[in-house]
């Protein structure tokens, strides 16, 4: 049962027939992992807390640096040098004290399975392929839906990955024993915002069983040309991870 | 070029040998990303299909570098 304060706070989204008070209660009972608190994760955390997700588990191991502030709008100059999870917990609690924040100082590669335990959904907001693989392995193993997102300069990608039903990360990007060359990836704030907003929209749709999820498609945005495109995907029958599901 | 066909690659019309497979096109156009996304007529192509999937006249191929930053 929503309190009068919750009804007022979420009034504009409760107006949506796909949400209503029942949907808002569903969100309040949900636990979502935001893996990574960089460009994608910091904005996703704000959107999910503002939307009324009951519990947000946020995980990162880095501290806030000056070069984060062009896109990681969760943080302020006063946060430079602080652990991202601490700064995030303060800001998110300030935004919505009804949202329970579980801040975890963790390397996603090492802790993916523990991080996903008890979560209804994970937002993949990490910034490297090994962490994405670890997250995907844990999501497939635990049967947790994952909303994948990635950015590079003016480009962003979003895809919903539901274990056993849609392609997983490994289906599309199989481990081939090759290491990607290390390079600093360009990141523009609004492109991170756009991509994170799409991820959060998909996450909320999944939690609410609303609309048509972005499954069997990889949505790509090219902000330099103002174009969106989607590529049809499917499960990979040769996937080393999920073919047997 | 004998038995050549025209296809569209990344929006440009290109002439390639008939029955070219995706693997040959990746080499021909020097695509080097280990996690390259290949789209063939709007559909994602799995890496294990690269040696066997061939193109036909008028096909559309897109080579897309993945976005793995966060």
Q: What is the mean pLDDT of chain B?
A: 96
Domain of residue A28, CATH code:
3.40.50.720
Domain of residue B58, CATH code:
3.10.20.30
The verdict on residue B69 lying in a domain is no
Residue A151 CB neighbours (<10 A): 31
Which structural domain, as residue segments, surrounds residue A53?
23-232
Among A41, A62, A172, the strongest candidate for a mutation testing the B interface, having the largest count of B CBs within 10 A, is A172
Burial A87-115 (b: 16+ CB within 10 A, else e): bbbbbbeeebeebbbbbbebebeebbeeb
Which structural domain, as residue segments, surrounds residue B49?
4-64
The verdict on residue B70 lying in a domain is no
Q: Say which of A174, A180, A233 has its CB closest to residue B44.
A: A233
Which residues from B are below 8 Å from A220, CB to CB? 64, 67
Euclidean distance between CA atoms A215 and A233, whole angstroms = 8
Q: What is the pLDDT of residue B1?
A: 65
Q: Are strands A55-60 and A31-35 parallel, antiparallel or unpaired?
A: parallel
By residue count, chain B amounts to 70
Count of the separate structural domains present in chain A? 1
Segment B14-33, tens digit of pLDDT: 999 999 999 999 999 999 99
Residue B30, Ramachandran bin (φ over 0: left; ψ between -120 and 50: alpha; else beta): left
In three-state form (DSSP H/G/I as H, E/B as E, the rest C), the secondary structure along A25-44 is HHHHCCEEEEECCCHHHHHH
The verdict on residue B13 lying in a domain is yes
Q: Are A80 and A66 in contact (CB under 8 A)?
A: yes
CB contact under 8 A, B67 and A236: no
ipTM of this model?
Answer: 0.94
Q: Say which of A36, A171, A173 has its CB closest to residue B70.
A: A36
Q: Say which of B43, B47, B66 has its CB closest to residue A232.
A: B43
Token couple for A29: 């009972």
pLDDT, averaged per 10 consecutive residues of chain A (245 residues), comes to 97 98 98 98 98 98 98 98 98 98 97 98 97 98 98 98 98 89 91 98 98 97 97 98 95
Q: What is the pLDDT of residue A70?
A: 98
CB contact under 8 A, A231 and B65: no
């Amino acid at each position: 049962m929503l309190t009068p304060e919750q009804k007022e706070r979420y009034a504009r989204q409760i107006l949506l027939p796909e949400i209503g008070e029942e949907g808002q209660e569903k969100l309040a009972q949900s636990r979502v992992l935001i893996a990574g608190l960089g460009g994608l994760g910091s904005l996703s955390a704000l959107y999910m807390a503002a939307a009324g997700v009951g519990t947000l588990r946020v995980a990162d191991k880095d501290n806030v640096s000056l070069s984060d502030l062009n896109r990681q709008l969760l943080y302020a100059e006063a946060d430079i040098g602080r652990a991202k999870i601490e700064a995030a917990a303060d800001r998110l609690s300030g935004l919505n004290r009804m949202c329970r924040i579980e801040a975890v100082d963790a390397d996603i590669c090492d802790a993916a399975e523990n991080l996903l335990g008890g979560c209804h959904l994970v937002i993949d907001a990490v910034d490297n392929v090994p962490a994405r693989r670890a997250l995907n392995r844990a999501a497939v193993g635990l049967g947790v839906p994952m909303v994948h997102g990635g950015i590079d300069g003016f480009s962003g990608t979003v895809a919903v990955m539901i274990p056993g039903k849609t392609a997983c990360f490994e289906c599309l990007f199989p481990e081939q024993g090759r290491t990607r060359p290390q390079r600093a990836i360009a990141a523009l704030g609004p492109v991170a915002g756009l991509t994170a907003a799409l991820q959060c929209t998909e996450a909320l749709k999944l939690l609410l069983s609303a609309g048509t999820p972005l499954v069997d498609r990889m949505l790509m945005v090219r902000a330099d040309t103002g174009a969106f495109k989607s590529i049809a995907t499917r499960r990979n029958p040769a996937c080393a991870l999920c073919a047997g599901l | 070029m004998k038995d050549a066909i025209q296809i569209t690659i990344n929006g440009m019309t290109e002439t390639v040998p008939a029955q070219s497979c995706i693997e040959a096109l990746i080499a021909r156009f020097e695509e080097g990303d280990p996690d390259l996304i290949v789209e063939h007529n709007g559909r994602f192509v799995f890496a294990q299909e690269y040696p066997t999937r061939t193109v036909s006249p008028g096909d559309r191929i897109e080579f897309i570098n993945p976005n793995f930053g966060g």
